Structure 1
Amino acid sequence: MLVNEHVSPYISFTREEWRQLRNSTPLPLSEDELVKLKGINEQISLEDVSEIYLPLSRLLNLYVASSQDTYRVTKTFLRHPTEKVPYIIGIAGSVAVGKSTTARILQALLSRWPNTPKVDLVTTDGFLYPNRILEERGLMKRKGFPESYNIRRLIRFLADVKSGRPEVAAPVYSHLAYDIVPGQVQTIRKPDIVIVEGLNVLQTGESEQRNGKYIPKLFVSDLFDFSIYVDADEDDIARWYVERFKVLQRTAFSNPNSYFHHYASLEDEEATETALRIWREINGLNLVSNILPTKQRAQLILEKGPNHSVQGVKLRKL
C-alpha cells in the first residue's frame, strides 16, 4: 500500500475480516443457481458467494433500507405522494474481470431480501452506438471506449428511472451480432433496485465552457446511490481475457451468425496471439487509459487474486 491506512479514503478488509461481516445471514443460493450466474471461464464457488457477496448484499440492503426511510420521511414532509425512487448501484471494471458475474450474483442475492424483491440489471452495452455509426466515425476499434457510447441516452435513461417513471426502456445489445438489436428494448418497471454494469460507468469528463463560463456537467455516476469497482492485476485480467477468447472460439464463435465466426478456425497458437493483440490494442489500452483511473471514485473495491476469487475489499470511509 502506497499510503498509510489512516490517510486512505478507504477502510481495507482482508477476506477473513470481510467474511465475518456476514453476521449469520443465510445463503439463499444453491450450487445449481450459481452455475447459471457464472461468467465464461470464471472459477467462483459458493464459498466465494458466502464470504464476499453475501456480506456485500447485507451492506447494500442496509443502505437501501436507509434510503427507503429517507424517501418516506421526505414524502411525509412534502405532504403529497411522490413517485418511488429506485436505488441505483453501478458496477465498473475491465473487460474479463468479472463485472457481469458480480452483477448477476448481487441481483440474485438482493432480490431475496424482503424489502427489495424487484431488482433489475442493465448493462451499458445497450447504450453503445450501433456499428453503422461507429463505422462512420471510425470508432469500431475503439468500441467500449467512452466515445463509443451514447452517454446522453444513458443519462436520460437513468434520470427517467430516478424520477420514478412507470416504464423506462433501455436498448438491447447482442454479443452474437456484436451490435444493437434494432427495435428490441429492455423495459424497466419501477424496481426497488437497478444494477448498472459497464466498463466506463464511473467515467467523468472535462467541464463544458460557453461564453467564458463553466457549465455544470452531469455524469452517469452522479445518478448512482452506490458504486463498485471490480479490480485485479492487469496481467491476470489479460490472461483471463485470452482464456475467455479461446472458450468463445470453441462455442459462440463457431455459430455462423457470430460476428467473430472468422476466429473459430484459428489454431491454438494463432488464437492466443490474436487475443493478446486485441487485448494490447483495444481492451488493455481502454483499461489503462479510461477504466483504471476511475477506480478511486468507487465506494467499494473488490480486489481479485489470480484465481478470480476476491482477496480483499475496500470500503470508502463515510
Structure 2
Amino acid sequence: MASPYVTFNREQWRALRASTPLTISDEELACLQGVNENISMTEVAEIYLPLSRLLNLHVGATQELYQATHMFLGNQDGKVPFIIGIAGSVAVGKSTTARILQTLLSRWPNHPKVDLVTTDGFLYPNRVLEERGIMKRKGFPESYDLRKFIRFLSDVKSGIPEVKAPVYSHLVYDIVPDEWQMVRQPDILIVEGLNVLQPPRDTDKDQRISEVIVSDFFDFTIYVHADEKDIRHWYVERFKLLRQTAFSNPSSYFRRYASLSDEEATEVATGIWQEINGANLRQNILPTRVRAQLILDKGQDHMVQSVKLRKL
C-alpha cells in the first residue's frame, strides 16, 4: 500500500535547511531541554532548522491568504494566529520540541511573536477527577475539559485581542486556581499535548459529541514518535532523576517518592507506565499519529532518525 508520507533520512532532511541561519545559542538550548534529554546543536541544525524553514513557508503562505481574503471582503478583522499542534507520548520529548520550535520560529522576521500553550491547563482539577473516579486516567482524553479547550482555541482563531488559558503546576500536580496564561494575538501559537490529534469520540453507541474537534483549529500538526520500549526507558530514567530535584520539594505532589532507592523507583515508575502512561499511549495517543502532517521518528538516543512529511 502506498504511504501518504514522504520519508526523509537525516541526510536528506538536513539538506532542506538550505541557508537557514542557526539562531540559537548553547546556553539557550540547555534551558530548553527536558530533564534527561541531551539535544545537541547538531540536532537543532539538522532537524529543527529545516523544520522551522518549512513552518515559516507555511506561515508566510497562510498570512498572504488571510491578507488576500481581507482585501476581497474589505474588512480588517483581528490578527489570526497560525496554530501548530504537537502531539506525542509522555516522556517522548514533545515539550522540548515545542520549546525549540518556539525559539527558532520567533527569530524569523515575519512572525516574531510565538506563544506556547500546553494542554495540561485544560485538565479537569484533581477535585473533579476524583469525584468522577478517573484520577488514575489523568492525561486520557476524558480527563480534559474539552469544551473549555475548544472555546479557547475558537477565541484565539477568531482574533480576540486577549484570551486566557488555565495554568497547570507539575509540582502540585493540579490546576493553579486564579492563575492564567494570557495569549495576546501572537503570530504563531504552538499547542502541545498528549491528545491534541484526537478524532471525535463516541459518547454512546449512536451519538457523537460536537462535530468541532481540537485539531480543526490547527494549521499544521506534528507527532513526536519513538518505540514504546524507548519511551518507557526515558520515563523511568526521568522518574529516578526527579527524586533529587522536583520530588524533593516539600510542596511536590510526588514528595513520597523522593526517598525511594533506585530499585524501588524503577519498580514504581514501571508500574505507573504500565497502568497509566503506556496504556494511554497504546489506546489513545499512538493511533492519532496517522493524522499528523509531519512525524519526527526518534531513536533510543533521543535523536531523530527520520522525518515523515504528508504528501500534499
TM above 0.5, yes or no, is: yes
Question: Residue by residue, what CA displacement relative to the aligned partner does 1:192-249 show, whole Å, maximum 9, x if unpaired?
Answer: 0000000000011246799x88776111001100000000000000000000000111
| Cα distance in structure 1, aligned partners of 2:16 and 2:122 | 36
Q: Which residue of 1 aligns with 2:63?
A: 68
Distance 1:213 1:311, change over 3 A: closer
Q: Which residue of 2 aligns with 1:126?
A: 121
Q: Which residue of 2 aligns with 1:242?
A: 236
Q: Does 1:233 align with 2:227?
A: yes
* 3-state SS of paired residue (1:199): coil
Residue 80 (structure 1) shift? 1.8
* Conserved 8 A contact 1:202-1:294: yes
Q: Does 1:253 align with 2:238?
A: no
* Conserved 8 A contact 1:207-1:217: no
| Cα distance in structure 1, aligned partners of 2:282 and 2:247 | 27
Q: Which residue of 2 aligns with 1:296?
A: 290
Judge which range, 248-257 or 295-304, deviates more. 248-257
* 3-state SS of paired residue (2:286): helix
Q: Out of 57, 66, 69, which is 2:52 matched to? A: 57
Residue 37 (structure 1) shift? 0.3
Residue 190 (structure 1) shift? 0.6
Q: Out of 153, 156, 162, which is 2:151 matched to? A: 156
Gaps of 5+ in 1: none
Task: Specify the code of the residue in structure 1 equivalent to 2:211.
Answer: K
| Cα distance in structure 1, aligned partners of 2:196 and 2:8 | 24
Task: Specify the code of the residue in structure 1 equivalent to 2:143.
Answer: S
| Cα distance in structure 2, aligned partners of 1:216 and 1:171 | 22
Question: Residue by residue, what CA displacement relative to the aligned partner does 1:49-80 show, whole Å, maximum 9, x if unpaired?
Answer: 00000000000000000000001100110012
* Conserved 8 A contact 1:10-1:315: yes
Q: Out of 81, 89, 105, which is 2:84 matched to? A: 89
Residue 34 (structure 1) shift? 0.3
| Cα distance in structure 1, aligned partners of 2:183 and 2:246 | 28
Aligned residue-pair number: 312
Find runs of 4+ consecutive structure 1 residues off by over 3 angstroms.
206-210, 212-216
Q: Which residue of 2 aligns with 1:144?
A: 139
Distance 1:253 1:197, change over 3 A: same
Q: Does 1:283 align with 2:294?
A: no
Indicate the RMSD between aligned Cα atoms, in angstroms. Answer: 1.4
* Conserved 8 A contact 2:197-2:291: yes
Q: TM-score if structure 2 supplies the norm length? A: 0.98
* 3-state SS of paired residue (2:160): coil
Residue 22 (structure 1) shift? 0.2
| 1:1-318 equivalent positions in 2, closer than 5 A | 3=1, 7-206=2-201, 217-318=211-312
Residue 293 (structure 1) shift? 0.2
Question: Residue by residue, what CA displacement relative to the aligned partner does 1:81-107 show, whole Å, maximum 9, x if unpaired?
Answer: 122110000000000000000000000
Task: Specify the code of the residue in structure 2 equivalent to 1:35.
Answer: A
Task: Specify the code of the residue in structure 2 equivalent to 1:296.
Answer: V
Task: Specify the code of the residue in structure 2 equivalent to 1:66.
Answer: A
Residue 305 (structure 1) shift? 0.3
Question: Residue by residue, what CA displacement relative to the aligned partner does 1:280-306 show, whole Å, maximum 9, x if unpaired?
Answer: 000000000000000000000000000
Task: Specify the code of the residue in structure 2 equivalent to 1:279.
Answer: W
Question: Residue by residue, what CA displacement relative to the aligned partner does 1:130-170 show, whole Å, maximum 9, x if unpaired?
Answer: 00000000111000000000011001000000000000000
| Cα distance in structure 2, aligned partners of 1:207 and 1:234 | 27
Q: TM-score if structure 1 supplies the norm length? A: 0.96
